[in-house]
Amino acid sequence: MQFFIAPEQKKFFATNLFIEFEELFTPKELDVFRPYQKGRDLVRENKEIKKVLWSSKFYKMALMLLGKKALRYGFDEVLFLSKHTKSGESVEERSSIDPLALNLLVCLEGERERREINDHFAFPTKPGDGVFFYPTLEWSSALSELEQSQKFLLLSWAEPKARYKMNEKDRDTYYLKTLGYQFGETLRDICHPLFQ
């Protein structure tokens, strides 16, 4: 399924730094993530996840929203969030990839009541729904809206010339060393493909 991004959606995104889309993932795509309760860079261990996350619909939407010609895969992460989650930082502040360009947060499990769209970040409401948002946007104020724990997928794209950096706030800061990276190195196409 292809998504069309209307000019008013681009304007909303440019003004508010986030935008939600319903039914980004099909039920079949959601099923691929069911066995995973947590984990980072699942594209490296599961071909079906790789097929879903590297599909053209997501990166094309990201390119349209940002008005860019290319983005690099940064990382993916399955996580549980609730109103009790401690987070006072943006995704960019806790990432070892710099600079990030855009994030997509997709609800994998759990549901909550839909609220009126306004000008502050909101988590996706039901499985399959997703929110594109800038990596610098802090989401901690929206955590209070999560009445129960929900399972999410965070997908991050980086700028084409992004680098691997030491970041003690990233609990997986040494992970890319297992792929042969050194701190300060530019991300390579073999591990972090460029989408255009």
Question: Mind listing the domains of the chain with CATH numbers?
Answer: 7-191 (2.60.120.620)
Q: What is the pLDDT of residue 44?
A: 93
pLDDT band at 159; cut points 50, 70, 90:
very high
For 3-17, write each residue's pLDDT tens digit.
779 999 999 999 999
User: Beta strand 97-109 with 130-133: parallel, antiparallel or unpaired?
Assistant: antiparallel
Task: Tell me the average pLDDT of the chain.
Answer: 89
Mean pLDDT of 160-166: 98
Residue 117 pLDDT > 60? no
Q: What is the pLDDT of residue 147?
A: 64
Cis amide prior to 99 (ω within 30 degrees) = yes
Mean pLDDT of 115-132: 78
Residue 116 pLDDT > 60? no
Q: What is the pLDDT of residue 89?
A: 75
Q: What is the pLDDT of residue 123?
A: 83
Residue 191 pLDDT > 80? yes
pLDDT band at 55; cut points 50, 70, 90:
confident
pTM of the predicted protein model: 0.92
> 178-187 long-range contacts, Cβ below 8 Å, gap at least 24?
186/161, 186/162, 187/72, 187/74, 187/97, 187/158, 187/162, 187/163
pLDDT band at 85; cut points 50, 70, 90:
low
Mean pLDDT of 44-71: 94
